[in-house]
Structure 1
Amino acid sequence: MGKIRINVVKRTARKLLNMYPDLFIRDFEHNKKVVNELIEVRSKKLRNQIAGYITHLKKVEERRQKIELEER
């Protein structure tokens, strides 16, 4: 089964990606630091979940772009 993420994690991650698309990369450690600077998170676990989901979204975005380039 896949990972299940709560709506707060998904909503916050997407919001941060829309507001600051250039700050995030495929590296979890980097994204964790950026999330910590941008928002005040209640716990380390929640911060890590948000950073992890952002990392996942960036990887998916890069794969999608790679496939689009190969199709051309």
Structure 2
Amino acid sequence: MTLGDAKVGTTVVVTKIEGDSAYKRRIMDMGITKGSELFIRKVAPLGDPVEITVRGYELTVRKADAQCVEVK
């Protein structure tokens, strides 16, 4: 399952980040790393963007970026 598929109100754990090295670095710089817990706060009406809570702060990610983060 990807971050983009997760339901609002659930807490998920990152298992893998896909993409090239520059893309992975950008995602990890936002605090989304393997093993981190993400709480899905909101999803915009059209599904883009997704608002999450990671490491105590709120973060908004585009749907395309969320599809590259595998969670369980």
TM-score over 0.5 for the pair: no
More helix by share: 1
Higher relative contact order (CA 8 A, sep 6+): 2
Determine which structure has more spread, i.e. the larger CA radius of gyration.
1
TM-score by length of 1: 0.31
